[in-house]
Structure 1
Amino acid sequence: MALVNLITSTALVTIFMTLGIFFYAPHLVGFIPTRYVPAADARDDHIQVLVLGDVGRSPRMQYHALSVVKNGGRVDLVGYNESPLHPQLVDHDRATLYPLPELPSSGRGVPPFMSWPNRLLASRLNIIQKPPSIPTLHLALIISVLRGSHLLVDWHNYGWSILATTRGRSNRFVQTYLEYESFFGRITPTANLTVTDAMARQLRKPPYSFEKPIFTLHDRPADIFQPILDATTRRKTLARVLAAASVADATTLAPLVDGILRGDIRLIVSSTSWTPDEDFNLLLSALVAYAEGDRAETRPLLAIITGKGPQKAAYEDKILRLTSDGRLSGIQIKTAFLTIEDYAALLAVADLGVCLHMSSSGVDLPMKVVDMFGAGLPVAAYSDYESFGELIKEGENGCGFETAEDLEAVLRRLLSDEGRDELAFLKRGAVEEGRLRWDTEWDRVVGRVVGLVDP
């Protein structure tokens, strides 16, 4: 049976490769004359950052682009242009966005990713985000061979493990996806980046068995995420952010700001993609239990949930029902989608961040926690996966939880009057962790690899 599965998976991988060549044959012919020719100065070479998704919602890939231009290089961003870009990339004279077209509403015509090669210039290096892997990996291999350019694959997670959260590990397509990622991951890149040491170790072992170089590039906060310690600045920022998030109107804003700054109301923040790999029910259940507990030991809460995704509307309906039924007494939950500037400011004025990320692979890490630390915000985070300890240090910069009961206990402890000292200690730890910045990490790991930083 194992042999049959292997043969089937290998055949399907071959089909993916063949289909890629078949669909791209008319385009690929045009690439042959435009092979990469080195520029006299490496900083005049183009480095391309490829995202088969919304570039504006891919912060790590935007940070790659920012690091390239900060070091004097030229960068081309290729991906869907749905959300605003990082403000430092907009109109930058050394950064260009090549948007992929939207899928036609009729469903007819060429799928948008089929125009991806036409967006590629003759670049020295392509940095590609993974996942998704299909069709990214085999198409990137074809293009890099014809272009004569290098490929740096940035492994954020595994496509097969994300798929397995809805289809199950034993699903045939999930197994095929795993075979695809393993096979093309071995032969495609010039080198690989991973978000954790645990992922790097895993990629060197079966079924991946990578032999190409692997470098761990830990996520670090960008400069836009900074603590706000000055009391006057904190007050002004809090008022601005609450207004931007439509939390309060002109008559209720000032009392709300005063209550939060005095500690009479606690402000917690969670950012979510509203997808199955982040179980928002955990937070809702914890908040219901918090509201139904001993009110003498707790403070009222304002919870602001940022982000957008497929399950957002359903959860907003559930929040409305729970509120109407009186099960969230003393708790106000607001959802918002903020600009990166307002989001960074919100993190800086909150009391506690909550991260619901459940690693599908066990070896990735949530970038949202990195941003929270950058803003000096301690974190309560789901902890039942291998790489958790690479970022969050229990009792130093945050706390872990595995169940709604655990989370409710953390909220009750840290947000009570008795928990002020512990929360302040965790905040100091978050500020210290946040001192490690993306630019320093990128220059150390990637800058030397791409030739923009001297060894």
Structure 2
Amino acid sequence: MELAVLVLFSPVLILLARVLFWRLRPQSGTVGVVVLGDVGRSPRMQYHALSFADAGFRVDLIGLSGSAPLQKLTNHSQIEVVALSDLTKWIEVKFLPKLLRYVIKTLIQLAQLLVILLFYMRRPKQFLVQNSPAIPTLFALHSVAFLCGSHVVVDWHNYSYTILQMALRPGHPLVRIARIYEQILGRFARSNLCVTRAMREDLKKNWNIEALTVYDRPPEMFKKTPLDVKHDLFVRLSKKYQCFRSQPWQNKVALQPGTRVEETVFTRKENGGIELRSDRPFLLLSSTSWTEDEDFSILLNAIEKYESFAKEGQSHLPSLLCVITGKGPQKKYYEELMSSKEFERVTFCLPWLEAEDYPLLLGSADLGVCLHKSSSGFDLPMKVVDMFGCGLPVCAIDFNCLHELVRHGVNGLVFRSAQDLSSQIQRLARDFPASHSSELDAFRANLKYFQSARWNDNWNRTVLPLFEVK
């Protein structure tokens, strides 16, 4: 009841807020970082918040509650995380028309954002807001900025209307309205950031919006994992996931009396000394939001082809442990589909990792796989940035501007089909671990240049000059 009243009277609240706030100056040295999504699953916005705080700003980070944010962020004295509850789950009623549910959801989110921004946080001199989603975020931020005399900077990760048309269809009236809305409100921003050169050119050409390309770069925590840390990680994971434990098909070593041994499927610790097992599987890793812009049937079909070749007696193909991390709407569907398959040489594991364990696993893997296909064709997968930060080569599905990150045959491979991907995995995993792929070694060597450019250096050079510290 209270929520319904809040939605109905939000225009009155805006007028009242204008009367209350028009004489009050925004607080210099304060930045509001806003993402209408799960804060813990919005790494770029978390990195923005940390960089602002390290540069001397007071930061309010506003986003939906859900996954735990980085511990470094929640412990930072200059950052306050304002977590919004997802009130829209209460309107997921099947008998309501889809359009009506969407309208109600938008109104609830708008009212919630306005109340939080106006009454429950400091009045920042500047806002940095993630787009997408644009609805209702851009309207809410521009309204509050007008009331309080603040400035808005939009960080374009993707286009909201292209994401919407995946759920509806191109040319749908809602998609056309969303595009116009996004285009108009995007022009009100004081400055714009974007994630690729292709997006910058598209914003300029089609919407007359000038944007600065700020490529994602990995923070320092994304690096190759030392052997002792790697072993400790596998031990922790083995307590939750059977596939990380020492397997029956692996070699058993005769032990001397009094010998202390701790084993995982990848490592062996004997009397304090740690080594990688010579019979360990090839660790293939992918991460995902389990959304429609990532078709995991491609990976599943590629793995089935790999399994078929391995069972035909091609002994040069090792066992695979395929780990796919993340949460999202399609996870249950693919989890059930994978569990219905019978594999002898391949094991799937779909864990959810703590934020601090994710880079450790990336730094322990042998090959990354990326199935992200941008809805607009203008954004790059941050998961590949993280993998590259750990020196992990990637096989990535091709799309419009992928070449700005993945250079085929230089730091990874690009594929277009399940057959392509299966052939690439077979080629790179051949004879593992007895002999390492020279191709993989070359990719890792070429990634050292990418690893030298970290998030803070890039951010201080490109983003910081747009903001004021006083």
By the TM > 0.5 criterion, same fold? Answer: yes
Aligned equivalent of 2:201 = 201
- The superposition leaves residues 31-56 of structure 1 with CA deviations (integer Å, 9 ceiling, x where unpaired) of 443356366xx5xx210001111111
- The superposition leaves residues 5-34 of structure 1 with CA deviations (integer Å, 9 ceiling, x where unpaired) of xxxxxxxxxxxxxxx997343144224433
Percent of aligned positions that are identical:
36
CA separation of 1:251/1:379 partners in 2, compared to 1, >3 Å: closer, same or farther?
closer
CA separation of 1:249/1:242 partners in 2, compared to 1, >3 Å: closer, same or farther?
closer
- The superposition leaves residues 160-213 of structure 1 with CA deviations (integer Å, 9 ceiling, x where unpaired) of 111222322222221221121112212x2001000001100000012x122xx4
Question: Alpha-carbon deviation of 1:105?
Answer: 5.9
Preserved CA contact (<8 Å) 2:394 2:411: yes
Aligned equivalent of 1:369 = 384
Aligned equivalent of 1:393 = 407
Aligned equivalent of 1:248 = 244
Identify the match of residue 382 of structure 1 among 383, 394, 397: 397
> Mean alpha-carbon deviation: is it higher for 343-352 or for 252-261?
252-261
Structure holding more helix per residue: 1
Preserved CA contact (<8 Å) 1:200 1:215: yes
Is 1:217 aligned with 2:207?
no
- The superposition leaves residues 258-314 of structure 1 with CA deviations (integer Å, 9 ceiling, x where unpaired) of 496436410011001111110010100000010001432311100111001111111
Q: Take 1:308 and 1:158, find their aligned partners in 2: how far apart are those partners?
A: 22
Preserved CA contact (<8 Å) 2:247 2:265: no
Aligned equivalent of 1:257 = 266
Question: Alpha-carbon deviation of 1:146?
Answer: 1.2
CA separation of 1:237/1:449 partners in 2, compared to 1, >3 Å: closer, same or farther?
same
Amino acid at match of 1:235: H
Q: Which runs of 4+ in 1 moved over 6 A?
A: 250-253
Is 1:140 aligned with 2:141?
yes
Q: Take 1:263 and 1:438, find their aligned partners in 2: how far apart are those partners?
A: 37
Question: Alpha-carbon deviation of 1:250?
Answer: 7.6
Q: Take 1:112 and 1:183, find their aligned partners in 2: how far apart are those partners?
A: 20
Q: Take 1:373 and 1:307, find their aligned partners in 2: how far apart are those partners?
A: 18
Q: Take 1:263 and 1:197, find their aligned partners in 2: how far apart are those partners?
A: 44
Aligned equivalent of 1:9 = none
Identify the match of residue 297 of structure 2 among 267, 273, 281: 281
Aligned equivalent of 1:441 = 458
Question: Alpha-carbon deviation of 1:255?
Answer: 5.0
Q: Structure 1: any 5+ residue segments left out of the alignment?
A: 1-19
Preserved CA contact (<8 Å) 1:155 1:195: yes
Aligned equivalent of 1:266 = 282
Structure 2 SS opposite 1:389: helix
Is 1:352 aligned with 2:367?
yes
Amino acid at match of 1:247: C
Preserved CA contact (<8 Å) 2:58 2:79: yes
Identify the match of residue 94 of structure 1 among 78, 91, 113: 78
Is 1:191 aligned with 2:199?
no
Preserved CA contact (<8 Å) 1:413 1:419: no
Is 1:310 aligned with 2:329?
yes
Question: Alpha-carbon deviation of 1:79?
Answer: 1.4
Amino acid at match of 1:126: F
Preserved CA contact (<8 Å) 1:267 1:302: yes
Structure 1 SS opposite 2:243: coil
Amino acid at match of 2:217: R
Is 1:119 aligned with 2:116?
yes
- The superposition leaves residues 312-339 of structure 1 with CA deviations (integer Å, 9 ceiling, x where unpaired) of 111111111112xxxx220000101101
- The superposition leaves residues 85-131 of structure 1 with CA deviations (integer Å, 9 ceiling, x where unpaired) of 11111132110112223317654997244121222231110001111
Is 1:333 aligned with 2:352?
no
Q: Take 1:21 and 1:50, find their aligned partners in 2: how far apart are those partners?
A: 24
- The superposition leaves residues 412-447 of structure 1 with CA deviations (integer Å, 9 ceiling, x where unpaired) of 001112761111111222343122111011111111
Structure 1 SS opposite 2:407: coil
Aligned equivalent of 1:413 = 427
Amino acid at match of 1:225: F
Preserved CA contact (<8 Å) 1:270 1:305: yes
Aligned equivalent of 1:320 = 339
> Mean alpha-carbon deviation: is it higher for 65-74 or for 409-418?
409-418
Preserved CA contact (<8 Å) 1:235 1:261: no
CA separation of 1:358/1:261 partners in 2, compared to 1, >3 Å: closer, same or farther?
farther
Question: Alpha-carbon deviation of 1:249?
Answer: 4.6
Q: Take 2:181 and 2:468, find their aligned partners in 1: how far apart are those partners?
A: 30
Identify the match of residue 439 of structure 2 among 413, 422, 426: 422
Aligned equivalent of 1:128 = 129
Preserved CA contact (<8 Å) 1:32 1:147: no
Amino acid at match of 1:256: V
Number of residue pairs matched? 421
Q: Structure 2: any 5+ residue segments left out of the alignment?
A: 1-6, 92-103, 249-261, 269-275
Preserved CA contact (<8 Å) 1:52 1:79: yes
Is 1:25 aligned with 2:12?
yes
Preserved CA contact (<8 Å) 2:238 2:245: no
Q: Take 1:278 and 1:292, find their aligned partners in 2: how far apart are those partners?
A: 24
Question: Alpha-carbon deviation of 1:57?
Answer: 1.0
- The superposition leaves residues 372-405 of structure 1 with CA deviations (integer Å, 9 ceiling, x where unpaired) of 111111111111x221011111112111111101
Instruction: Please report the RMSD computed on the Cα atoms of aligned residues, expressed in angstroms.
Output: 2.5
Preserved CA contact (<8 Å) 1:69 1:75: yes
- The superposition leaves residues 229-272 of structure 1 with CA deviations (integer Å, 9 ceiling, x where unpaired) of x4444434443445465533588782512496436410011001
Q: What pairs up with 1:1-150 in 2 under 5 angstroms? A: 23-34=10-21, 37=25, 45-103=29-87, 106-107=90-91, 111-120=108-117, 121-150=122-151
Structure 1 SS opposite 2:289: coil
Q: Take 2:413 and 2:436, find their aligned partners in 1: how far apart are those partners?
A: 13
Preserved CA contact (<8 Å) 1:81 1:100: yes
Alignment TM-score, normalising by the size of structure 2: 0.84
Structure 2 SS opposite 1:256: coil
- The superposition leaves residues 142-173 of structure 1 with CA deviations (integer Å, 9 ceiling, x where unpaired) of 21111100000010000111122232222222
